[in-house]
Amino acid sequence: MMGAIIGDVIGSRFEGRYKKSTDFILFNKKSRFTDDSVLTVAIADALLNNDDYGSVLQKFGKKYPDAGYGGNFYKWIFLENPQAYNSWGNGSAMRVSAIAYAFNNLEAVLEEAKKSAEVTHNHPEGIKGAQAIASAVFLARTGKEKSEIKDYIQTKFDYNLERKLDDIRLIYRFDVSCQGSVPEAIIAFLESSDFESAIRLAISIGGDSDTIAAMAGSIAEAFYKEIPKGIIEETNKRLPDEFLKIMDQFKEKYYE
């Protein structure tokens, strides 16, 4: 979960700017948490309290209304009787990482990822994206090799992970769909050598940088098991105390 939030904070100032490079300062005064972090923490809070995903997502959305949500989600936050709106956007995938720590078998992770997605993103691609990221995080945290993670994701979800980032960068444009950003985030992880490089590679793709980095970061955290202390400290400086408390509680309960 921390990996997703770090990716969001570092990627926030690059969203839509097409950095197309891994050479950049990780943090500056514009680095901030966005909707990716808010909703990641919301899912963790729902799991900690055995609460309904929809009501907790609404609660956090209302509490942090200026975090940069998509238009449909922003409207959904304030509905008295909220209904899923058939979204295929990557909002379902950016928020899902905590589920991979709260359940101890892949089938349960897939089912719970579906539940967390379909309160808003009930389009098949929205559910698929959430399940892909959740399962990649689960496989990574349970010791699978990159080749095994890659093979599973390609077979289960029919995402093309054979592409190279050097080729993707040349043609990539802003894309908030699951099908147009989840595979790219996974490829960034697959090409990385450590946690920091996964974040840098994800941002170098361009486009929806904070979300792509959040997704790649969530897998990288689970796989590499180690995040540089300085990166954690710089991220934590930018988070509300409420987030830090929930993250600590979640880590104590679910991290091995």
Tell whether the model's pLDDT for residue 215 goes beyond 90: yes
Q: What are phi and psi of 89, to 5 degrees?
A: -75, 165
Mean pLDDT of the residues in the chain: 97
pLDDT at 219 over 90: yes
Q: Are 41 and 60 in contact (CB under 8 A)?
A: yes
pLDDT on residue 255: 87
Q: How far apart are CA 84 and CA 149, in angstroms?
A: 30
pLDDT of residue 6: 98
pLDDT at 3 over 80: yes
Which residues does residue 89 pair with via DSSP β-bridges, in sequence order? 177
**Helices within the chain (DSSP H only):** 2-11, 35-48, 53-63, 71-77, 91-94, 99-102, 106-118, 124-141, 146-157, 165-171, 182-191, 195-204, 209-224, 229-236, 241-254
Q: What is the pLDDT of residue 191?
A: 98
Sign of CA dihedral 174, 177, 178, 179: negative
**Banded pLDDT at 136 (limits 50, 70, 90):** very high
Local confidence band at 19 (pLDDT 50, 70, 90 cut-offs): confident
Confidence band of 38 (pLDDT split at 50, 70, 90): very high
Does 229 have pLDDT greater than 90?
A: yes
Q: Which CATH superfamily is domain 2-254 in?
A: ADP-ribosylation/Crystallin J1 (1.10.4080.10)
